[in-house]
Amino acid sequence: MAKNGLKPEIRFAGFTEDWEQRKLGGVTDRVQGNDGRMGLPTLTISAANGWLDQKDRFYDNIAGNEQKNYTLLKKGQLSYNHGNSKLAKYGVIFELQNYDEALVPRVYHSFKAKENVAPSFIEYLFATKRPDKELGKLISSGARMDGLLNISFDDFMSIEIPVPTIKEQIKISSFFRTLDNLITLHQRKCEKLVNFKKAMLEKMFPKDGTDVPKIRFAGFAGAWEQRELKDLCVDTYGGGTPRTVVTEYWNGNIAWIQSSDLAEDKLSNVVPKKSITKNGLKNSTTKLIPENSIAIVTRVGVGKLAFMPYKYTTSQDFLSLSKLKVDNWFGTYSIWKKLQSKLRSVQGTSIKGIPKKELLAMTIMIPTQKEEQAEIGDFFHNLDHLITLQQRELEQLKQIKKSLLDKMFV
């Protein structure tokens, strides 16, 4: 239990002692087997979300006959899922928190903390990814057939981890658990807003075969009218790509967007990654499109679109509707909803694109009063703004956690 002058960059007041290097096997005991109760929740570990019931993650219990060999894990005990993923190259560790008891895959390395060791501290220590360097040395030959890294339990227990006093462990663990709860709260708020938007999109636009929506703003009545997309605008524009090898065509002051600049569920605030010059515009098939137009992806990434409040140009993967005859935001959301409905109707098949003629012939229902269009458009635009703010706050909290994990551990 040698002291090595280990101290984190940030500490809670009152803690000054050095952290000690300990073998993981010296501060934990293995957990194996079960007592035959097969009716307990059957869980799996997700690198992004921690413990999940297999029925929630896979829509069924996938354990099958192997369940009889699963490990009985109790609240406060931990498992190491030594599976390789994009989020966790060397696997992840989670403490069982939300269940008193559960069955977990035998292939996980399951263990419990000894006296004077807080299990949550071990979870968060591994979340820093600092032990990854030692874990990487233990891998004998890449991933196994089942996708798990070749790290035996004994080798896993041989790695060394820095450990402070139990009081400091508890203080650190409690802090990060509170932060995680706050992150979860914000995630749920985001999910509720997204689900609310989804529900209102279904209720504030007429269903197929009908001409009035289920929910309507006060003061509006009468049937909606069916229009083709070509009737919603005065002009349409295609796009093109200036020759990429001609440097004088690029990095100018004219925005040029491509499909990857748009997100599937974001209909505004497009930030172009590239721009072109006047020469690039002049010597290509791309067109300068007026502000307040709707850019619709018709090829790679079909189904994405965005309202563009500034002048822009596009690649050949777009068709833009300009000089709109309907409210800007109503037109944006109604067309997006129509495209999403079309994509859902052909789910499971590959759509490489929508021809211009077919796109412009699509029909949508619109209210005859421009004021009702504006009410609906503003409602969804403001709702999306609120969702964006919540997502931004959530991302900030995640970044704060990431930074503090780096500074509060050694």
Task: Looking at the structure, tell me whether residues 239 and 321 fall in a common domain.
Answer: yes
Task: Looking at the structure, tell me whether residues 206 and 318 fall in a common domain.
Answer: no
Q: pLDDT tier at 149 (50, 70, 90 boundaries)?
A: confident
Beta pairing, strands 313-314 & 250-257: parallel
Q: What is the pTM of this model?
A: 0.85
Q: Residue 174 is part of a domain; what is its CATH number?
A: 1.10.287.1120
Q: What is the mean pLDDT of the chain?
A: 93
| In-domain check, residue 4 | no
Domain hosting 182: range is: 170-217+371-410
Q: Is the pLDDT of residue 84 over 90?
A: no
Number of domains in the chain: 3
Task: Looking at the structure, tell me whether residues 232 and 341 fall in a common domain.
Answer: yes
Residue with tokens 């109604």: 334
Task: Looking at the structure, tell me whether residues 199 and 213 fall in a common domain.
Answer: yes
User: Which residues lie closer than 8 Å to 188 by C-beta, 6 or more apart?
Assistant: none
Task: Looking at the structure, tell me whether residues 109 and 146 fall in a common domain.
Answer: yes
Q: What's residue 181's pLDDT?
A: 96
pLDDT tens figures, 271-286: 999 999 999 999 999 9
pLDDT tens figures, 334-368: 999 999 988 876 655 566 789 999 999 999 999 99
User: Which residues lie closer than 8 Å to 311 by C-beta, 6 or more apart?
Assistant: 254, 255, 288, 289, 290, 291
| In-domain check, residue 177 | yes
Task: Looking at the structure, tell me whether residues 25 and 160 fall in a common domain.
Answer: yes
**Any idea which of 80-94, 222-236, 319-333 has the lowest mean pLDDT?**
80-94
Q: Which of 115, 117, 159 is nearest to 136 (CA)?
A: 159
| In-domain check, residue 124 | yes
| In-domain check, residue 106 | yes
Q: Is the pLDDT of residue 186 over 50?
A: yes
Q: Which of 284, 286, 334, 342 is nearest to 307 (CA)?
A: 334
Q: What dihedral do alpha carbons 83, 85, 88, 93 form, nearest 10°?
A: -30
Other beta carbons within 10 Å of 31: 18
Task: Looking at the structure, tell me whether residues 160 and 189 fall in a common domain.
Answer: no
Q: What's residue 129's pLDDT?
A: 95
Task: Looking at the structure, tell me whether residues 180 and 263 fall in a common domain.
Answer: no
Asked which of 125, 143, 164 is the last residue of a domain, the reply is 164
| In-domain check, residue 2 | no
Question: Which strand ranges, in their side-by-side order, compose the sheet holding 28-30?
Answer: 28-30, 109-113, 78-81, 92-95
User: Which residues lie closer than 8 Å to 325 by C-beta, 6 or more apart?
Assistant: 231, 232, 233, 234
Q: pLDDT tier at 1 (50, 70, 90 boundaries)?
A: very low
Q: pLDDT tier at 138 (50, 70, 90 boundaries)?
A: confident
**Any idea which of 56-60, 192-196, 260-264 has the lowest mean pLDDT?**
56-60
Q: Residue 340 is part of a domain; what is its CATH number?
A: 3.90.220.20
Q: What's residue 60's pLDDT?
A: 76
| In-domain check, residue 351 | yes
Q: Is the pLDDT of residue 190 over 90?
A: yes
Q: Angle CA(32)–CA(151)–CA(398) in degrees, nearest 5?
A: 90
Q: How many CA atoms lie within 13 A of 126 on its CB side?
A: 26
Tokens representing 10?
A: 């940030």
| In-domain check, residue 6 | no
| In-domain check, residue 1 | no
Task: Looking at the structure, tell me whether residues 299 and 254 fall in a common domain.
Answer: yes
Q: What dihedral do alpha carbons 287, 291, 294, 297 form, nearest 10°?
A: 40
Q: Is the pLDDT of residue 63 over 90?
A: no
Mean per-residue pLDDT, 386-392: 96
**Any idea which of 273-282, 299-308, 316-325 has the lowest mean pLDDT?**
299-308
Q: pLDDT tier at 64 (50, 70, 90 boundaries)?
A: confident
Mean per-residue pLDDT, 153-163: 96
Q: What's residue 140's pLDDT?
A: 63
Q: pLDDT tier at 4 (50, 70, 90 boundaries)?
A: low
Task: Looking at the structure, tell me whether residues 24 and 160 fall in a common domain.
Answer: yes
Mean per-residue pLDDT, 55-83: 90
Q: Which of 9, 114, 165 is nearest to 173 (CA)?
A: 165
Task: Looking at the structure, tell me whether residues 314 and 290 fall in a common domain.
Answer: yes
Q: Which residues share a beta bridge with 250?
A: 276
Tell me what percent of the residues of the chain surpass a pLDDT of 70: 95
Q: pLDDT tier at 301 (50, 70, 90 boundaries)?
A: confident
User: Which residues lie closer than 8 Å to 15 by C-beta, 6 or more apart?
Assistant: 164, 165, 167, 168, 171
pLDDT tens figures, 215-235: 999 999 999 999 999 999 999
Task: Looking at the structure, tell me whether residues 45 and 146 fall in a common domain.
Answer: yes
Q: Is the pLDDT of residue 29 over 80?
A: yes
Residue with tokens 């990095």: 251
Q: What's residue 2's pLDDT?
A: 46
Q: What's residue 61's pLDDT?
A: 77
d(CA 374, CA 295): 19
